[in-house]
């Protein structure tokens, strides 16, 4: 039986905890090479490559041009690496309207490799030339598509993709890294938010919701972004500065213990014309860590949470406040949510499950 050589191109894999999936893919008999940049820039700043899980596969670092430009970034030396490795399959962990995707697909065709792309894009958007041309070329020439959610699949079907497709989240969560500790009901009830500090993540809504809570509570906010100063000013205006803690963005491998400080994680995302929540990985990490979750009904959040947490209408401050207050007041209710969250995580969102599903796609794609 042929050992499949798979080359993955993924700027997302600069994040250390995401690399565990790569080890598991390699353990399933794949000869895996993963191309990453030395860092990636976004509104949080520069995210350097973390080497956390690198056993059993080749993690290749190539320079990136236009780092931070989602549409225009590309890799220096990618074609040479592909020619050297001679992959059977190239897994393009990028959207089809990106230059890095076009670059990868072009070089894949030159070595007759099968190809697939990954997408979170859950809003149908029309791009100007040349991005619309490149997108159409990818949809017509790629062999397979992986979707983070069913709604992303609907977008690409509506844009003309007719090839094979499967919904598999980009990354799972490792139960050996994210795991529950015993509930401590007597400590100060601690609410958490983890993510980018931008308008669409709804952190202002969360502040207004907790600003009307009585009793004993704290809010821990972990993240960075352009909204930080405005958030700090808002907590002073609300008179809750002594209850709200702002923590700077942490390397991914340092985040798991942070969940053990929380009783509840809230993801109050808001839908904008050009964005709605694409997944909400912090929800899965919280569920794996034994933390109850509340999310808005933006984008994919309801399908991620299922019946394992509370869904509130996005932007609805009283509804969010009531959901938080009920979970704080009723330990039995919170414990039931925690148990449902753990079960949902173990069923749908482990690295092992996602790696197995991804390898099955590779094997179908390159079946003799």
Banded pLDDT at 367 (limits 50, 70, 90): confident
**pTM of the entire predicted model:** 0.91
Q: Which residues are bridge partners to 272 per DSSP?
A: 275
Query: Are the folds of 5-172+350-365 and 189-348 the same?
Result: yes
CATH architecture of the domain 189-348 equals 3-Layer(aba) Sandwich (3.40)
Classify residue 294 by its DSSP letter.
Answer: E
Per DSSP, the three-state class of 64 is: strand
Over residues 266-313, the pLDDT tens digits come to 999 999 998 999 999 999 999 999 999 999 999 999 999 999 999 999
Write b or e for each residue in 162-185: b if 16 or more Cβ atoms lie within 10 A of its Cβ, otherwise e: eeebeebbbbbbbbebbebeeeee
**pLDDT confidence of residue 43:** 78
Percentage of the chain beyond pLDDT 70 is 99
Q: Where are the domains of the chain?
A: 5-172+350-365, 189-348
Average pLDDT over residues 21-46: 94
- Rounded to the nearest 10°, the torsion over CA 181, 182, 184, 185 is 130
Strands (E), 93-173: 114-119, 144-147, 164-167
Which CATH number, 2.40.50.140, 3.50.50.60, 3.40.50.920, 3.40.50.2000, labels domain 5-172+350-365?
A: 3.40.50.2000
Match 């393009």 to its residue by tokens: 92
pLDDT of 184 > 90? The answer is: no
In this prediction, residue 45 carries a pLDDT of 81
Q: What angle do CA 51, 52, 56 make, to 5 degrees?
A: 90
CA distance 368 to 364: 9
How much of the chain, in percent, has pLDDT values that exceed 90? 93
What tens digit of pLDDT does each residue of 131-150 get? Answer: 999 999 999 999 999 999 99
Say if residue 186's pLDDT is above 80: no
Q: Which residues, 6+ apart, have CB-to-CB distance to 326 below 8 Å?
A: 333
């Amino acid at each position: 039986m042929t050992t499949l050589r798979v080359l993955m191109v993924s700027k997302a894999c600069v994040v250390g905890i995401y690399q565990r999936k790569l080890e598991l893919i390699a353990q399933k008999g794949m000869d895996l090479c993963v191309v990453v940049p030395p860092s990636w820039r976004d509104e949080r700043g520069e995210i350097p490559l973390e080497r956390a899980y690198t056993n059993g596969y080749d993690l290749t670092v190539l320079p990136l041009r236009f780092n931070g430009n989602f549409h225009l970034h590309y890799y220096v030396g990618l074609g040479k690496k592909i020619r050297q490795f001679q992959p059977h399959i190239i897994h393009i962990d990028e959207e089809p309207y990106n230059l890095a995707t076009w670059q990868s697909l072009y070089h894949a065709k030159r070595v007759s490799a099968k190809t697939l792309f990954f997408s979170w894009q859950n809003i149908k958007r029309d791009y100007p030339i040349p991005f619309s041309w490149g997108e159409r070329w990818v949809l017509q020439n790629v062999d397979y598509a992986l979707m983070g959610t069913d709604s992303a699949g609907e977008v690409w079907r509506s844009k003309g993709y007719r090839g094979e497709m499967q919904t598999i989240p980009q990354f799972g969560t490792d139960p050996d890294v994210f795991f529950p500790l015993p509930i401590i009901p007597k400590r100060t009830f601690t609410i958490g938010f983890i993510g980018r500090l931008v308008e669409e993540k709804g952190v202002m809504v969360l502040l207004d919701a907790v600003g009307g809570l009585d009793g004993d509570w704290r809010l821990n906010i972990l993240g960075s972004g352009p909204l930080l100063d405005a958030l700090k000013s808002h907590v002073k205006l609300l008179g809750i500065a002594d209850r709200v803690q702002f923590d700077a963005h942490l390397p991914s491998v340092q985040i798991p213990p942070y969940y053990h400080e929380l009783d509840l994680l809230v993801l109050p995302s808001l839908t904008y014309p050009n964005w709605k929540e694409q997944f909400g990985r912090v929800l899965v990490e919280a569920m794996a860590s034994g933390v109850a979750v509340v999310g808005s009904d933006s984008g994919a959040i309801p399908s991620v949470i299922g019946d394992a947490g509370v869904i509130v209408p996005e932007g609805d401050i009283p509804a969010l406040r009531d959901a938080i207050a009920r979970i704080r007041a009723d330990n039995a209710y919170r414990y039931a949510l925690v148990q449902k969250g753990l079960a949902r995580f173990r069923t749908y969102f482990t690295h092992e499950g996602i790696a197995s599903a991804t390898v099955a796609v590779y094997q179908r794609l390159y079946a003799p």
